[in-house]
Amino acid sequence: MQMSPNRVPFVKMHGLGNDFVVLDGRVDALPAIDAQLAAALADRHTGIGCDQLILLERSAIADLKMRIFNADGSEVEACGNATRAVGLLHGKAARIETAGGIVAAAPDAAGIAVDMGVPRFAWETIPLAYALDTLSMPVGWEALETPVAVNVGNPHAVFFVDDCDAVDLARLGPLIERDPLFPERVNVNVATVTSRAAIRLRVWERGAGLTLACGTGACATAVAAMRRGLTERTVTVTLPGGPLRIAWGEDQRITMTGPASEAFRGSFDPAAYGASA
C-alpha cells in the first residue's frame, strides 16, 4: 500500500521496555522536530507513546547521527538503550554520532553490544554547580545520601541503598533531578549490590520519569560500584525491564550488551500535531 505523501513513517522499538519512536531522516525529509512535536508524539494518550523520540540523520563523522528527545520534549546527549535499538535497526556494526560523543554498536550473541566510551568523573564535566568529590558527594535528600556522580554522555547521580525497591523514587526522583546542584538536571539511580557480579537498579530518568530500563544508568551505576570497590569490572545490572551486562575495560571504555526489539511500524500525519511535513 502506498503511503500518503503527508504521512511520516516511524518504527516503534524498545530495549528492555524502555521504548522509542524512531524517525529516519537520512533519506526522506522529515518535519522540523522541536520540543513541542517531540512531546506530542511521545504522549501515551494522544500521541504514539514512548520514553524517547529518536531522530536519525546523516553524519559527516560517523555512519549516522542520532538525536534524542525525552518525553517532555527536552533534547539529551545519550541513551544506551536507544543506541542498541538503532544498532538493531541499522543491521550491522556502526559508529553513531550523538551529542554526547561517538558511540559504536555491533550485533552480539546476547543482542547488541555498544561501546559507550569513557566515563567522566570531574565535577565540572558532570556538570555540578560547584566543586565536590564525585565519588562520595557530601549531599543528601532524606534517606538518599552520598551519591556517586558520573557522566556517561549524560549526567547521573548513583545512590547505593539496602533495597532499591523500597525507595519512593517517584517522589524523590524529580526533586533530585531539578536540584540546583545539577545545572543540566540529572538522572537519578538507586542501586542495590547483591554480589560482586550483580546489581539491582531503578532509575528516574530526567525528562522521562520512572523507566523500565536505562542503559546509561546501568553503565553509570556499574562504574560507580566498581570505583567504590563493590564489584568486579564486569557485572550484570538488572532493571525492572531485565538485565544488561556492563564491562569496564582496562582502556577505561564501557561496553554495554543487551537486547533490543522492534515492536511495530506505522505512520503519522504531522498536521495532527501542529507541524507540517
Percent of the residues in the chain that have a pLDDT greater than 70, as a whole number = 97
For residue range 228-261, list pLDDT tens digits in order: 999 999 999 999 999 999 999 999 999 999 999 9
Query: Quick check: 46 and 268 in contact, CB under 8 A?
Result: no
For residue range 104-162, list pLDDT tens digits in order: 999 988 899 999 999 999 999 999 999 999 999 999 999 999 999 999 999 999 999 99
pLDDT of residue 1: 37
Domain 8-115+260-273 has CATH 3.10.310.10: yes
For residue range 88-114, list pLDDT tens digits in order: 999 999 999 999 899 999 998 889 999
pTM of the model: 0.89
How much of the chain is in helix, strand and coil states, percent to nearest 5?
A: 20, 40, 40
Q: What are phi and psi of 121, to 5 degrees?
A: -125, -15
**Portions of the chain given CATH number 3.10.310.10:** 8-115+260-273, 119-252
- Classify domain 119-252 at the CATH superfamily level: Diaminopimelate Epimerase; Chain A, domain 1 (3.10.310.10)
User: CA–CA separation, 258 vs 126, rounded Å?
Assistant: 25
Q: Known catalytic residues?
A: 79, 214
How many CB atoms within 10 Å of residue 58? 12
